[in-house]
Structure 1
Amino acid sequence: MTLRHGLDWQKVQMLVARERAAFIEKMPRSKALSEQAAQHLLFGVPLHWMNDWSTPFSLYVDAAKGAQFRDVDGHHYVDFCLGDTGAMFGHAPEPVGRAIAAQAQKGFTTMLPSEDAPWVAKELARRFGLPYWQFAMTATDANRFVIRWARAATGRKQVLIFNGCYHGTVDDVFVDLVDGQPVQRDSLLGQVYDLTQYTRVVEFNDLAALENALKEGDVACLLAEPAMTNIGMVLPEPGYWEDAQALCKRYGTLLVMDETHTISTGPGGYAQAHGLQPDMFVVGKPVGGGVPCAVYGFSAEIAEKAQNAKRNAAPGHSGIGTTLTANMLTMAAMRANLAEVMTDEAYTYMFGLARHLADGLSRVIKAAGLPWCVTQVGARTEFQFTATPPRNGTEADKILDPALEQAIHLFLLNRGLLITPFHNMLLVCPDTTTEDVDRLVQTFADFVAATLP
């Protein structure tokens, strides 16, 4: 018998074979669509990472509403992935749907502002504590743009990130620490220049390493999630961010918080919940209720420096922004989502449900004697294959087990429960019910029971 993270690996492999066969048998329409897609879509999917799911071929969605969706073969699912945060407040929220439908009759995009723009900007300032804002179509774009603004505002070239971070497909952040040395990530396709020339990388929760990277006084910004979420969740140690923020101020480095995922912490994100004061701030896909959009904010001081940099630059394209940025359809969606969906009451409900989920998963793990742990950030919960939560990207990377993750994911999926295809992250939304959570916990327990030695 081979043990893997406390489970009988032979049992896991036998279970996966059965689950793959069961999926194939009950998904004829998805299988047919996958075969059609292979004729004209690269890798047979609209985006190549859609092959990262645990399924033998793509699962095709017919409709999604609230906390549930239906596939093209007529099966219903409770969705704990929620578009990897894009639908964090549920699929197709009614207020957002109404706003989009109304705006669709009045136009989509004009390259001019609508009356929703000042309302949304004022609301963003109220929620997140930064007075000035700009818009983008994705968090990737927003992160790319804030790096440019930070360099322009400071006159510095270097960018600092944490090992194992994820900020979308921004080339500058694809640098890892390997045996303590910065190395351009091997998986980055088509990159021809050395990213380590202008990107530094340190471990999360390591204040000494952070200060060492900042002390030369040439780092424009530290771009960071307040809690790492894409390599498996890594939480900041007590007091870390207060000290890290102070170091950034001491060395003149701008602190940029990317809260596209940690917006799960509260209506104003992690920074507001924990009293932090970033110089710049990014929120992506959740802010529009699932409509492609992102926003990024500036402190008053950095806004003035950014505006001066633009005014003093040569005329022409700044390299920041796209023609669809702040289009009328997106702005209407953001206004409706911020006003009626992304409310304090919604967060209070989600926090309680996520706590119920975390407690349930922890009970199953403890009862089975597994060396696993459960981590929670607001409405976001994750179970990890380690008894002690990781404190940095290197530790988080070492405990990832894609084969075991996919075994669990497929087992859940075949029983009408979807979680993210990457590690073991789960989200709840205002439409998720206690019964949905209890069903997931019980199904998770069934997987554990079927694979224990």
Structure 2
Amino acid sequence: MTTRDTTTLGGIARSRIEQMREAEAVAFRTARPKSEARIGNGIEGFLGGVPMHWMKDWPTPFPILVDQARGATITDIDGNRLDDFCLGDTGSMFGHSPPPVTRAIRRQAGRGLTYMLPSDDALAIGPLLQERFGLPFWQIATTATDANRFALRVARAVTARETVLVFNGCYHGSVDETMVRLKAGRAINRPGLAGEFRDLTRATRIVEFNDIPALEAALKDKSVACVITEPVLTNSCMVLPDPRFHDALRRQTRDAGTLLLIDETHTISTGPGGYTRVHGLEPDLFVLGKPIAGGIPASIWGMSDEVASRFAAYERTKEPGYSGMGTTLSANPLQFAAMRAALEEVMTAKNYAHMEHLARRLDAGLTAVIDRNRLPWHVARVGARVEFICAPGPLKNGGEAEGAHAPELEAAIHVALVNRGVLIAPFHNMMLISPATRAAQVNRLVSAFGEVAAKLAA
């Protein structure tokens, strides 16, 4: 029987990690006296001292108090400039305030912000979504969480089935059915859920990503309404699909009469039509949130001809009343204006080519640093989205991804990078390349990562 080494994490001595955390925390505070005075003890009037509790999850001693963000740069109120590779955790994947989106917002602001009716921009968006993502029928929502909820309602309605299937380690916003995980092979509610009194596993099956036999067994009784999945697991230590996985997933769902929902909210980094278009996936339902409107809260969800026809038949027979789909501020004219500008002028093939080029450069640079310092880490990438993972790879499933997560080490690296002028995502070492990102910024990130890695590995 082997014993686990508790003196190291990610191949680094825990004592060294703690030393770095302490030293970098001092440097962070020293560089931000104005911020510390205003936010160091929390913001008055907000629960927990922050407007949204995720803001407490940054590993910095206190959140960065932003003065402005432009392109791929954030400046705090102390004048510190950061090369931004977090980009609002994908919400600003195409840069902060892309000029076409800014112009569209300014134009629409004087014409009304919401009125529960379509505008001229809506007439353009429908065909844009059809052409870009390949499905014929679409709806607009405000968040990907909402869009996923609504799409799952449609799936259950047209299949007359209750159960959904997810993959261990998945992320689909705060959709209740997806808040489950595998522990020692058993499905349980995801730890940490607040106020949850239901057994969410009653109507949700969960298997490991890339496990084709387990997927087949879970679908065999033909009682699953829908499989909801990202094309790549992205939210904690990226897991890429095996070469045969998506073909098997599509074949097995069709054989079982189960619908397939692809959530591209993170993997839209792959190309203008997402991972789905680049790799020829054929979903029945499709969801995309976060960056679709250039930073304005918006999401889209679409469906195939067959699903739309089946749902129309269901609608003709169901009891009249509220469908449980839609919110008052969804599909408002500000969303239409920003989304049209993003689709037509920002999410272009030219911009994606720039993003892909620099992402490959970042991938190679980070990998070279890891190899040079002989660290047991690896880099994963899907299009313009790059992650360094403080464990050997590649990872095969969500269970392995959970085991690879090294929170204390990642937190130390994060603050050290901030102190060297670089911001990455606080939750899972994610870095995004935007159309506004420049080669010099990538070089600075690789250099800063190299300096930090060398200190840890010395």
Q: Classify the TM-score, shorter chain.
A: over 0.9
Q: Is the CA contact 1:89–1:286 (under 8 Å) kept in the aligned structure 2?
A: yes
Choose which of 219, 230, 244 in structure 2 pairs with 1:214.
Answer: 219
1:335 maps to 2:344: no
Choose which of 56, 64, 73 in structure 2 pairs with 1:68.
Answer: 73
Task: Using the TM superposition, give the Cα deviation of residue 183 of structure 1 relative to its aligned residue in structure 2, in angstroms.
Answer: 0.4
Q: Is the CA contact 1:140–1:170 (under 8 Å) kept in the aligned structure 2?
A: yes
Aligned to 1:300: 305
Structure 1 counterpart of 2:276, which letter? A
Residue correspondence of structure 1 range 221-236 to structure 2 within 5 A: 221-236=226-241
Task: Using the TM superposition, give the Cα deviation of residue 415 of structure 1 relative to its aligned residue in structure 2, in angstroms.
Answer: 1.4
* RMSD value, Cα: 1.2
Aligned to 2:33: 28
Task: Using the TM superposition, give the Cα deviation of residue 26 of structure 1 relative to its aligned residue in structure 2, in angstroms.
Answer: 1.9
Q: Is the CA contact 2:17–2:408 (under 8 Å) kept in the aligned structure 1?
A: no
Q: Is the CA contact 1:228–1:234 (under 8 Å) kept in the aligned structure 2?
A: yes
SS in 1 for 2:45: coil
Q: Is the CA contact 1:9–1:451 (under 8 Å) kept in the aligned structure 2?
A: no
Task: Using the TM superposition, give the Cα deviation of residue 36 of structure 1 relative to its aligned residue in structure 2, in angstroms.
Answer: 6.9
Aligned to 1:402: 407
Unaligned runs of 5+ in 1: none
Aligned to 2:444: 439
The range that moved more, 2-11 or 317-326, is 2-11
SS in 2 for 1:316: coil
Choose which of 61, 85, 91 in structure 2 pairs with 1:86.
Answer: 91
Identity of aligned residues (%): 51
Choose which of 359, 363, 370 in structure 1 pairs with 2:368.
Answer: 363
SS in 1 for 2:54: helix
Task: Using the TM superposition, give the Cα deviation of residue 37 of structure 1 relative to its aligned residue in structure 2, in angstroms.
Answer: 4.3
Distance 2:152 2:389 in 1: 32
Distance 1:278 1:305 in 2: 15
Q: CA 1:37 to 1:371, structure 2 compared with 1: closer, same or farther past 3 Å?
A: closer
Task: Using the TM superposition, give the Cα deviation of residue 191 of structure 1 relative to its aligned residue in structure 2, in angstroms.
Answer: 1.6
Choose which of 171, 194, 198 in structure 1 pairs with 2:199.
Answer: 194
Distance 1:360 1:62 in 2: 30
Distance 2:315 2:421 in 1: 52
SS in 1 for 2:154: helix
Distance 2:413 2:453 in 1: 9
SS in 2 for 1:238: coil
SS in 2 for 1:375: strand
Deviations 1:263-288 (A, max 9, x none): 00110111111111000000001110
1:262 maps to 2:270: no
Distance 1:186 1:319 in 2: 27
Aligned length: 453
Distance 1:385 1:58 in 2: 24
Task: Using the TM superposition, give the Cα deviation of residue 409 of structure 1 relative to its aligned residue in structure 2, in angstroms.
Answer: 0.4
SS in 1 for 2:51: coil
SS in 2 for 1:295: strand
Aligned to 2:189: 184
Aligned to 1:252: 257
Residue correspondence of structure 1 range 100-115 to structure 2 within 5 A: 100-115=105-120
Distance 2:424 2:355 in 1: 16
Q: Is the CA contact 1:109–1:324 (under 8 Å) kept in the aligned structure 2?
A: yes
Q: TM-score, structure 1 length as denominator? A: 0.98
Task: Using the TM superposition, give the Cα deviation of residue 163 of structure 1 relative to its aligned residue in structure 2, in angstroms.
Answer: 0.5
Structure 1 counterpart of 2:444, which letter? R
Deviations 1:310-342 (A, max 9, x none): 232222211100011110011100000100000
Distance 1:388 1:202 in 2: 20
Task: Using the TM superposition, give the Cα deviation of residue 420 of structure 1 relative to its aligned residue in structure 2, in angstroms.
Answer: 0.2
1:99 maps to 2:104: yes
